Structure 1
Amino acid sequence: MSKRNKREIPAFEHPIIETHCHLDYLKENPLEDTLANAKAAGIEKIITIAVSPDNLDTVMALTQADDMLWGTQGVHPHDAEKYTQATGVKIREQALNERIVAVGEIGLDYFYDNADREIQRQVFHDQLQIAADLDLPVVIHSREADDDTIEILRRFETSLKRKGVIHSFTSGPELAQYAIDQGFCLGFNGICTFNTAENVRDIIRMTPLENIILETDAPYLTPVPYRGKENASCYLPFVAEKVADVKNVDINEFLPIVYANSQALFFPE
């Protein structure tokens, strides 16, 4: 991996779990190179995320490609209008596979409004019900939809036992506090390294260490100093370094905590 006049990826003693990426969307390197680079950067496990009826099977297949790979099943709000009863049945059946660790990526996106908002809300609700029925955590996408996200999650406060994560957290403090109070994790990625993302760093400051997990959302949101390149799990140490710095915690103290958080959420004993 060429440095291209940029910092080398930091090497830490403790492994990291990549809790959110989209391996089937990466184009720069073959899968085997992507995984080799991740392992070299100290990444122990990678969770690749389903987003559409069109990639449920692709994600399932990826989880069989290497022992470090795990996956989810779910439909992103952008594709909510593609969701059918048959899609729900498929998610429910495939989520029983031992390599599937959550229902996701599900939620609401009122920023792009790629799907009708009422349909988004119904599809979000239906998939939360699947997770509750199967006793799985959820991976939630929420953008410009804080109030409705809270309102729908309130319906599942008792039935969704394992909670989940609001990933790529860019929402406001009210949703953050609600999620923390309910036992959800917040997922932080390369956005926290961007100069303009002080709002995200403010949320990191208010989030207890025990509620933080790390992700890349690759191939999107490449952290500084590699912005402009396709993102990949091997860049996750830059995210870890920045979040630890914002929390004013030594990286060697920070990493075991977020590892334990990720393990407890997605890989409980």
Structure 2
Amino acid sequence: FEGDQAVLRFEDGETVRPDILIGADGVHSRVRNAIVGPTQARESGICAFRALVPAAKAPDFARRHAQTLWIGPDHHLVHYPVSGEEYVNLVAFAPAGASSVESWTATATLRELLDEFAGWDPRLVELITAADTPGRWALLDREPLDHWNRGNATLLGDAAHPMFPFFAQGAAQAIEDGAVLALCLAAAPDNPIAALGRYEELRRRRTARLQEVSHGRSHINHLPDGPEQRARDLEYSQADPLRANGWIYEYDPETAVSASA
């Protein structure tokens, strides 16, 4: 930074002084380090497996038009149809081993995934057995930021607020960020720093709340068998997820921006 001006220096020696800089460069964001200082993401102790099952090979129960959640000690698994019902998407969470890395391209073996759910319901084991090669990556943890702007630079998506995927909101919040940021910039094209400040003010508390509830779900879903687990199961059986989580899905970027004018 030169005062409030972000300066980009590229590997080929080129230097750029942009009108604005939007750091949408993920959980390992270099722009984040420049804005708030270098910080290390914490290992959560949880890894995620993701795989696709061809619908023709999936058991009937997995092809229902529903998200199905299986939960147990230190583990949980979610599945639902995708790609016009051609596949069933399968996402599983388990304790992270020493070989787990934070990467969208790392893979595990099907045997490793099956071993994590050994002894579970035979129907679930049948579904996992039909899966393709699963991806696997470690979940990283970061505390919500007090600010993510500096001068004419800001952050968006995982660079600003990485969150556990237990409410499926990581990409959704990046899309909301983009919509709000665009509206703020359109409303103040001659004052981008003010527009970025308004964007941060509108987005920071909501995304921090989602980071926190997503983090909390990692404990709730992985309870050991016992009184807490039985109380959770009873609560889940009686809950209306859409009503309880309506605040997540009813959000409208245009309404949020116009209400702050």
Specify if TM > 0.5. Answer: no
Structure with higher Rg: it is 2
**Pairwise TM-score range, normalised by the shorter structure:** under 0.3
TM-score, scaled relative to structure 1: 0.23
